[in-house]
Amino acid sequence: MNRSLAARLVLLFPPRWRERYGDEFEDLLEREGADVGTLIDVIRAAGWQRALSFWSNGDGNMQTYPASVMSLARKPSAFLPIAMSLCALAVIGIVALNGIQREPDEGAAAHIWQMLMAGQLPILTFFAFKWLARDRKAALSVLALQLIGFGAALLPVWLLNL
């Protein structure tokens, strides 16, 4: 492979990876053929390293996306809102299975659902304040999951006009 192509391929990798492995990798590419299989292999590896780099912390340690998000997701303030959304969804499921009855008072199920939904908000706020500053990318991923859960518990109420 010619030097110019090798240098361009190395540029596909993230800067931190290039600092560490760039020279030796470029040397290896120059010794290898430039067939389609090699090019695809290098592009795929660069994409993978970019993905790892995107989800790594800024402390210089490469940390893979699943490890970071999963460790954060074990924190009570991360999984409690999701669990509460699932419970709220289960309450709606039970009400829907038993038939929707309109009552003058909202009923116990409605109160439980409201408590579960409202109770999440302070936890969500606490989680966002605490973790967005420390590990923004992982925190955003968990927040996205929490908001999807919140939306999933909210949507049937709107759809079923409860």
Partner 1 sequence: MRSTLNVDESLKSGHYSDPPLLVLASLAAGPKHGHAMLDDIEQMCGTRLGPGTLYGAITRLEQQGLIEALPPEERRRPYRLTQAGRSALSAKMATLQRFVTIGAKRLAIP
Q: Does 34 sit near partner 1 (CB under 8 A)?
A: no
Q: Which stretch binds partner 1 (CB under 8 A): 15-23, 84-92, 110-118, 123-131?
A: 15-23
55 is an interface residue for partner 1 by CB under 8 A = no
Q: Is 92:162 a contact under the CB 8 Å cutoff?
A: yes
Asked whether position 48 contacts partner 1 by CB under 8 A, the answer is: yes
C-alpha 7: how far from its chain's center? 33
Query: Please, which residues have CB within 8 angstroms of residue 107's CB and are 6 or more apart in sequence?
Result: 101
Residue 111 interacts with partner 1 (CB under 8 A): yes or no: no
Minimum distance, C-beta of residue 44 to partner 1, in the bound complex (Å) = 6
- Considering only 4, 31, 105, 161, the residue that binds partner 1 (CB under 8 A) is 31
Q: Which of 60/99 has CB closer to partner 1? A: 60
Return the structure tokens found at 100: 């929707």
- What's the min distance (Å) between Cβ of 142 and partner 1? 24
Tell the residue number behind the tokens 């596909």, with chain if given. 12
In sequence order, the 6+-apart residues with CB closer than 8 A to the CB of 131 are: 72, 75, 77, 78, 138, 139, 142
- Distance in angstroms between the alpha carbons of the first and the last residue of the chain: 66
Decide if residue 24 touches partner 1 (CB under 8 A).
yes
Q: Does 49 bind partner 1 (CB under 8 A)?
A: yes
Of residues 3, 8, 44, 136, which one binds partner 1 by CB under 8 A?
Answer: 44
Return the number of other C-beta atoms located less than 10 Å from residue 109's C-beta.
17
